[in-house]
Amino acid sequence: MAKSTESLSNLFTSRLQSLEFTRKKVNYLFSKKRIVRRDIEQIYQGLFLESVAGFEHYVEDLFLGLATKKIIPHSQRTALKVSFSSGQTARAVIFGNNKYCDWLPYNRTIERAEKYFKEGHPFSIINSSEEAEIKNFVYIRHAIAHKSEHAKKQFEDKVIGSTSLSPRERKVGAYLFGSFRSSPSQTRYENLVIEMATMFEKICSA
């Protein structure tokens, strides 16, 4: 039975909520001095990797679901250029000789969508400022996962830029744990995850 795009958006939101429960637990442990600053910064890095992996996973699920009509598009603007007889066929064509597709940076998703969907809709609904923010997700992810000088420099140049931060907060874990705003209290990690959820919901609702 075909699913709605809204159901997929809800699944991603549920995944993020599960990670949020973990974040709140470790924040409590930190407030009680049962873990140290280094611990919580490392956990924030892991949570962020899981969040970005979830975003990429559900973008792929939405793309393949729409391409195979297993997911019902939200609007009639979403129209296939190519019809696929099965999910296996769709993956073989879309993935080519690769075992997986990179959906991030997001321009890769848009380029792929323009091949298979009229005007790339709904994936092309993301605007340039949102696409730039998704690039930041990737820079942060690479700084966590790769630890290379190149990844570190991209994080510093593209994400931090001219923002005035302490030497500690110029490191990715401390950056994510750092304060985005004080009222109401919100970490940079929280703000980034909210942006992820909002953008995916926007794609699903287009």
Q: Report the pLDDT value the prediction gives residue 158, as an integer from 0 to 100.
A: 96
Tell me the three state secondary structure of residue 187: strand
Give the pLDDT confidence of 147-183 residue by residue, as tens digits. 899 999 999 999 999 999 999 999 999 999 999 999 9
In angstroms and rounded to an integer, the radius of gyration of the C-alpha atoms of the chain is 19
Q: Report the pLDDT value the prediction gives residue 177, as an integer from 0 to 100.
A: 98
Q: Which amino acid is at 108?
A: R
Q: What are the sequence ranges of the domains in the chain?
A: 3-205
The Cβ-side half-sphere exposure at 42, using a 13 Å CA radius, reads 5
Give the pLDDT confidence of 176-186 residue by residue, as tens digits. 999 999 999 99
Q: Residue 80 phi/psi, 5° resolution? A: -75, 140
Q: Report the pLDDT value the prediction gives residue 131, as an integer from 0 to 100.
A: 97
Q: How confident is the model at residue 85 (pLDDT cuts 50, 70, 90)?
A: confident
Instruction: Give the pTM.
Output: 0.95
C-beta separation of 72 from 5 below 8 A: yes
